[in-house]
Amino acid sequence: MEALIPVVLALLAGLGIGSVKVTSSSRSRLVERLGKYNRELKPGLSLVLPGVEKVVSHESLKERVLDIPPQQCITRDNVSIEVDAVVYWQLLEHARAFYAVDNLQAAMVNLVLTQIRAEMGKLDLDQTFTTRQEVNDVLLRELDQATDPWGVKVTRVELRDIQPSKGVQQAMEQQMTAEREKRASILRSEGERESQVNAARGRAEALVLDAKAKQEALLLEAEAQSKQQALLAKARAEAAKELAAAIEAHPAAAESLRLLLARDWMAMGQEMARAQGGSVLMVDPQSPASLLTALKGLQEKGGS
Which residues, given as ranges, of the chain have pLDDT below 70?
Answer: 1-20, 22, 168-169, 171-173, 240, 243-244, 246-248, 250-304
Do 69 and 55 fall within a single domain?
no
- The pLDDT of residue 55 is 82
Do 56 and 80 fall within a single domain?
no
Helix, coil or strand: residue 144: helix
Residue 290 belongs to a domain = no
Beta bridge partner(s), residue 54: 32
Q: How far apart are CA 159 and CA 22, in angstroms?
A: 39
- The pLDDT of residue 46 is 73
Q: How far apart are CA 201 and CA 211, in angstroms?
A: 15
Do 144 and 101 fall within a single domain?
yes
CATH at residue 103? 3.30.479.30
Q: How far apart are CA 79 and CA 13, in angstroms?
A: 67
Q: Read out DSSP for 77-118?
A: TS-EEEEEEEEEEEES-HHHHHHH-S-HHHHHHHHHHHHHHH
Residue 228 belongs to a domain = no
- The pLDDT of residue 254 is 60
Residue 217 belongs to a domain = no
Do 160 and 69 fall within a single domain?
yes
Do 71 and 158 fall within a single domain?
yes
- The pLDDT of residue 13 is 47
Do 41 and 123 fall within a single domain?
no
Residue 107 belongs to a domain = yes
**Which residue among 130, 164, 198 closes a domain?**
164
- The pLDDT of residue 7 is 47
Q: Read out DSSP for 166-224?
A: HHHHHHHHHHHHHHHHHHHHHHHHHHHHHHHHHHHHHHHHHHHHHHHHHHHHHHHHHHH
- CA dihedral (93, 98, 103, 106) in degrees, to 10, reads 0
State whether the Cα torsion 169-171-174-176 is positive or negative: negative
Backbone angles phi, psi at 36, to 5 degrees: -120, 140
* Domain extent at residue 109: 63-164
Do 16 and 100 fall within a single domain?
no
The pairs formed by 124-133 with CB atoms below 8 angstroms and a separation of 24 or more are 124/75, 124/76, 124/77, 125/75, 125/77, 125/79, 125/81, 125/164, 125/168, 128/75, 128/81, 128/162, 129/162, 132/159, 132/162
Contact 94, 151 (CB under 8 A): yes
Overall domain count for the chain: 2
Q: How far apart are CA 211 and CA 153, in angstroms?
A: 83
